[in-house]
Amino acid sequence: MDKPIETLRVILGDQVSPEIAALEGLDPRHDVVLMAEVLDECTYVPHHLKKIVLVLAAMRHFARALAARGVRVRYVTLDDPDNTGSLRGEVGRAIAALQPRQVVTTEPGEYRVLQDMLGWADAVEIRPDTRFVCSIADFRRWAGGRNGLRMEFFYRDMRRRTGLLITPDNEPEGGRWNFDAENRKRLPESVAVPDAQGFVPDAATAEVIELVRRRFTNGFGELDGFRFAVTAKDARAGLDDFIARRLPGFGDWQDAMHSGQPVLFHAVISPALNIGLLDPTAVCRAVETAWRSGRVPLNAAEGFIRQIIGWREYVRGIYWLRMPEYGALNALGATRALPEFYWSGRTDMACIRHVVGQTRQDAYAHHIQRLMVTGNFALLAGLHPDAVDEWYLSVYADAYQWVEMPNTRGMALFADGGVLGSKPYAASGAYINRMSDYCRGCAYEVKDATGPRACPFNFLYWDFIARHAERFASNVRMSMPLRNWERMPAERRAAIRARAAGFLAEMEAGRGATCSTA
């Protein structure tokens, strides 16, 4: 007869870490780990097919590794005929079958799941997620009483707390906290970009690919060419490959974009990092070691570490500090629906076509593609933050609301009114032209703002400045574009605004993606 169950330990799809809090104190003789593939989590937004494969394949590999260590795992597959389709349903079914004395889990990455967890059982112990450098409680303490919550100051605290790139005298290595001024270079033609390492699916992952192909027939994105790491071992190999071959160029070309190079010098570790296959501190230590041994320059190591112990930790802190109100913020009163080309990529705007096409193929785009192409367009065109949020949460393999939402609503859309950034990341076509080769193959003319082939980013940029002139009048960081707008001849301003109005009307009618002369 089965022994009585002491503790049911629930692990979610983005919690596949051996050190996850729910496993602390596990007694293999009396405890059961529950992992469930459920339709609700696979469909609450139209996830990219590769994201679903990533999560389910990582769950299966993790469950297998636990079982190999002698842990009893109740693993519910998506095809199980008794599967209720929800996390709550599966926890309920496990409680009914196993009658555990207690249920233990780890805090989730999304507010909606936290609300759901509170109703899983009479008493669920929800443990803090210790896989971050800064706990939610510590972030609250840091934020308490401050006027502005700027990332840069938080980042300095995290550097001191971790000792990363800190001298024995407790000062930043290289005498500065931040080397970003050196990190904004355009990619020269002559630079060879090393390929990112991919991982050929093993039999277990291939089975998940077939499951997803069968169950999600109309899902977003391409399923073929799945190469994400789904085990900690492969994730570490991917990180080591990045450090050896691409990290040296990460600093210099962090902001560059290229139509033939989706990854450039980025790490592509967020899909693995966000489900727990990599530990953020260990990642940063490996990068620091590479710098200390002279293998990478300081601007690359510092820039990279800042993304992780700075931005990544900071956006999580903001999310939990400000939810649920944060999810309803719309400071700029944006109302437009998301145009169809965000899903199909069918547009004459070459930059958007490239980024959406790459996103459909790889479930990945790097930061500047997300921020300055699709994010910038959404900001300038006044797309509703709810629709934009849902898009970002769906299409990227690394997307969970704790990290997606502050980046989208805060950084890209300025819908939080300036919690994350002191000014909107609004830019005209000139920025995209400077940082990429997209404009070369575009039906639009990047140097034109009013003609029939004018680049939409140009007239939308000025239209955005004009629409929000009153709001930005008191923001010193916006004084330059406001002055430039006001200095423009009245006829030019009128022509720009008319061009923008026409484009937006066409877009809302479902036709705005075509260049009038194309």
Under the rule (CB under 6 A), what is the footprint of ligand SF4? 349-351, 429, 432-433, 438-439, 442, 444, 446, 455-457
Closest CA to 507 of 324, 346, 282: 346
Distance between CA atoms of residues 510 and 501, nearest Å = 14
Neighbours of 493 (CB within 10 A): 17
Sequence-distant (≥ 6) Cβ neighbours of residue 10 within 8 angstroms? 22, 33, 34, 35, 87, 91, 103, 104, 105, 120
DSSP character at residue 268: -
Which residue, 55 or 256, is less far from ligand DLZ as judged by CB?
55
Using rule CB under 6 A, residue 411 touches ligand FAD: yes
Q: Using CB under 6 A, which of 90, 302, 348, 404 touches ligand FAD?
A: 404
Using rule CB under 6 A, residue 255 touches ligand FAD: no
Min separation Cβ 455 and ligand DLZ, Å: 36
Min separation Cβ 377 and ligand DLZ, Å: 26
Which residue, 87 or 507, is less far from ligand DLZ as judged by CB?
87
Min separation Cβ 209 and ligand DLZ, Å: 14
Which residue, 75 or 425, is less far from ligand FAD as judged by CB?
425
Phi, psi for 104 (deg, rounded to 5): -125, 135
- H helices present in 10-110, as ranges: 39-43, 49-68, 87-98
Residues 360 and 49: beta-carbon distance below 8 Å: no
Distance between CA atoms of residues 518 and 515, nearest Å = 5
What is the pairing mode between strands 102-106 and 7-10?
A: parallel
366 binds, among ligand DLZ, ligand FAD, ligand SF4, none (CB under 5 to 8 A by kind): ligand FAD
Which residue, 41 or 234, is less far from ligand DLZ as judged by CB?
41
Distance between CA atoms of residues 162 and 177, nearest Å = 14
Q: Which residues sit at the interface with ligand DLZ, rule CB under 6 A?
A: 12-14, 36-38, 41-42, 47, 52, 55, 108-110, 113, 400
Neighbours of 437 (CB within 10 A): 20
Which residue, 73 or 114, is less far from ligand FAD as judged by CB?
114
Using rule CB under 6 A, residue 315 touches ligand FAD: yes
Min separation Cβ 101 and ligand DLZ, Å: 23
Min separation Cβ 325 and ligand FAD, Å: 20
Which residue, 34 or 355, is less far from ligand FAD as judged by CB?
355
Min separation Cβ 298 and ligand DLZ, Å: 34
Which residue, 37 or 279, is less far from ligand DLZ as judged by CB?
37
| Residue 10, helix vs strand vs coil | strand
Distance between CA atoms of residues 14 and 105, nearest Å = 12
Which residue, 72 or 306, is less far from ligand FAD as judged by CB?
306
Closest CA to 507 of 348, 351, 385: 348
429 binds, among ligand SF4, ligand FAD, ligand DLZ, none (CB under 5 to 8 A by kind): ligand SF4
Q: Using CB under 6 A, which of 269, 355, 442, 478 touches ligand FAD?
A: 269
Min separation Cβ 424 and ligand SF4, Å: 17
Q: Which stretch binds ligand FAD (CB under 6 A): 307-315, 343-351, 460-468, 502-510?
A: 307-315
Q: Using CB under 6 A, which of 238, 375, 410, 481 touches ligand FAD?
A: 375
Distance between CA atoms of residues 329 and 103, nearest Å = 35
| Residue 126, helix vs strand vs coil | strand
Using rule CB under 6 A, residue 392 touches ligand FAD: yes
- H helices present in 422-478, as ranges: 429-435, 456-467, 469-472
Bridge partners, 172 (sequence order): 166
Quick one: 22 exposed, middle or buried, by C-beta within 10 A (0-12, 13-18, 19+)?
A: buried
How far CA 156 is from CA of 110, 151, 161, 406, in Å, comes to 27, 9, 9, 20
Which residue, 41 or 416, is less far from ligand DLZ as judged by CB?
41
3-class SS shares of the chain: helix, strand, coil, % to 5: 50, 5, 45
Which residue, 13 or 310, is less far from ligand DLZ as judged by CB?
13
274 binds, among ligand FAD, ligand DLZ, ligand SF4, none (CB under 5 to 8 A by kind): ligand FAD
Q: Using CB under 6 A, which of 93, 215, 295, 367 touches ligand FAD?
A: 367
Q: Which residues bind ligand FAD (CB under 6 A)?
A: 266-270, 273-274, 304, 307-308, 311-312, 315, 366-367, 370-371, 375, 392, 396, 398-399, 403-404, 407-408, 411-412
